[in-house]
Chain A
Amino acid sequence: MHEMSLVQGLLVQLGELAGEHGKEKVITVTMEIGPLSGVVIDSFEFAFDALAGESVLTRDAKLIVESPPPLYRCCGCGKEIRADRRPHSCPLCKETLITTEGSDDLLLLRVEME
């Protein structure tokens, strides 16, 4: 449910950006939500639909979410592996201890406004 408060923060930021650039309407908002960000994309979209409708600026805004698969790193040899699921073992050195690298971003990438 923290998706609600995150979306509230996003809407404040969109208001500031619109003010800075002298724009009145947000057309698209593109976010990157990393798979390990702790944010549920469905909940984020739901919160956006619910809250964006409350202001003229964002009423018709479309939310685009990019979510690249997580990046894994072998604890043995350091090889980086981009995959949807945790690999059982490292393809190079067969190490089974594999950790994740970043993949927890929660970024406002760009906004299209008019």
Chain B
Amino acid sequence: MCDACGCDLKPEESHDAKVIEVHQSLLAANTAMAAKNRAHIEAMGAVAINMISSPGSGKTTLLEKTIEALGDSLRIGVIEGDIETERDAERIRAKGVPVIQLTTGGACHLDAAQIHKGLHLLAREDGGDRLDILFIENVGNLVCPATFDLGEHHRMVMVSVPEGPDKPAKYPKAFHSSQLFVISKTDLLPYFDFSVDAAKAEALQLNPAIEVMDLSATSGEGFGQWLDHVRDLCSRG
């Protein structure tokens, strides 16, 4: 007889509470899908970079300038993530490379399932199934995208000079999970109280292995080292 309510179930099949030990990451499904994406991207011959920053740090501008500089020597593809609009994809399409836009319909980050869909859409674009490098521009947000592996090989976090140098301390996960930290819009340094050295030091404190570079897409300062970095990733891939 069941002690709890006196019904005639045997104890082993009782409707008593049962504790199930699970010990599984809530991100397990995403992580599994990300692994599939990584294999898919490698089969395309590409390496993928996941670009994370606040809105307006200059991700799309950096991509436009990168395509202008490297579009003839590398096969570049782009997946754009945005909450609404197709605008960023239109800017990239104007540069003549395969691109698709994922609109998250309100969600503040891309996840691996969306990228999986995106890879299939991209394959239908002219040249979208054979690439050297795939850039994924995440939704402008320094918090949520950091939690989701998309299947990228390389993650970069970008902070522009007007945002201030305290971002690493405030958004540790993005810096902790990235291999590259880009400080953008350095042409604006004369107008803002931003110490490049302080920002670098904060990022290194969180992640001693992170590579740091600063550049301006407008003046072209520091751009050479970024392009070298991109070429280097492709040759490693």
Q: Write out the residue numbers on chain A whose beta carbons fall within 8 Å of the beta carbon of B176.
A: 36, 100, 104
- Segment of B13-21, B38-46, B158-166 in the binding face: B13-21
Assess whether A111 is interfacial by the CB under 8 Å rule: yes
Q: Which one of A6, A97, A107, A109 lies within 8 Å of B208 (CB-CB)? A: A97
Assess whether A37 is interfacial by the CB under 8 Å rule: yes
A1 with B144: CB separation less than 8 A = yes
Bound complex: CA A110 to CA B24 (Å): 9
Report if A104-B173 is in contact (Cβ < 8 Å); known contacts: A2-B147, A10-B26, A112-B17: yes
Assess whether A19 is interfacial by the CB under 8 Å rule: no
Q: Write out the residue numbers on chain B whose beta carbons fall within 8 Å of the beta carbon of A2.
A: 107-109, 143-144, 147-148
Assess whether B188 is interfacial by the CB under 8 Å rule: no
Q: Which one of A97, A108, A112 lies within 8 Å of B205 (CB-CB)? A: A97
Assess whether A55 is interfacial by the CB under 8 Å rule: no
Bound complex: CA A96 to CA B177 (Å): 21
**Chain B, 204-237, contact with A by CB distance < 8 Å: what is the 0/1 string?**
1111100000000000000000000000000000
Expressed in whole angstroms, the minimum distance between the Cβ of B173 and any Cβ of chain A is 4
A39 with B147: CB separation less than 8 A = yes
Bound complex: CA A23 to CA B17 (Å): 9
**Chain A, 51-85, contact with B by CB distance < 8 Å: what is the 0/1 string?**
00000000000000000000000010000000000
A112 with B207: CB separation less than 8 A = no
B111 with A5: CB separation less than 8 A = yes
B186-206 at interface with A (beta carbon < 8 Å)? 204-206
B18 with A108: CB separation less than 8 A = no
Residue of A nearest to B173 (CB): A38
Assess whether A113 is interfacial by the CB under 8 Å rule: yes
Assess whether A42 is interfacial by the CB under 8 Å rule: no
Q: Which one of B20, B173, B206 lies within 8 Å of A111 (CB-CB)? A: B20
**Chain A, 92-114, contact with B by CB distance < 8 Å: what is the 0/1 string?**
00000111100011111111111
Residues of A within 8 Å of B, CB-based: how many? 33
Assess whether A17 is interfacial by the CB under 8 Å rule: yes
Assess whether A41 is interfacial by the CB under 8 Å rule: no
Q: Write out the residue numbers on chain A whose beta carbons fall within 8 Å of the beta carbon of B16.
A: 114
A1 with B23: CB separation less than 8 A = no
Expressed in whole angstroms, the minimum distance between the Cβ of B32 and any Cβ of chain A is 12
Q: Which one of B20, B143, B204 lies within 8 Å of A21 (CB-CB)? A: B20
Residue of B nearest to A44 (CB): B26
Q: Which one of B21, B25, B204 lies within 8 Å of A106 (CB-CB)? A: B25
Q: What residues of chain A have their CB less than 8 Å away from a CB belonging to chain B?
A: 1-2, 5-6, 9-10, 13, 17, 21, 23, 27, 31, 36-39, 75, 86, 97-100, 104-114
Known A6-B26, A113-B17, A114-B15; 7 more pairs at CB < 8 Å: A2-B143, A5-B107, A6-B27, A104-B173, A109-B21, A110-B21, A112-B20
Instruction: Across the A-B interface, give the 8 residue pairs with the lowest CB-CB distance, nearest first.
Output: A38-B173, A2-B144, A38-B147, A114-B17, A108-B22, A1-B108, A106-B26, A112-B19
A-B contacts, 20 listed (Cβ < 8 Å):
A1-B107, A1-B108, A6-B26, A13-B24, A21-B20, A31-B26, A37-B147, A38-B147, A86-B205, A99-B207, A99-B208, A100-B176, A100-B206, A107-B26, A108-B23, A108-B26, A111-B19, A112-B20, A114-B17, A114-B18
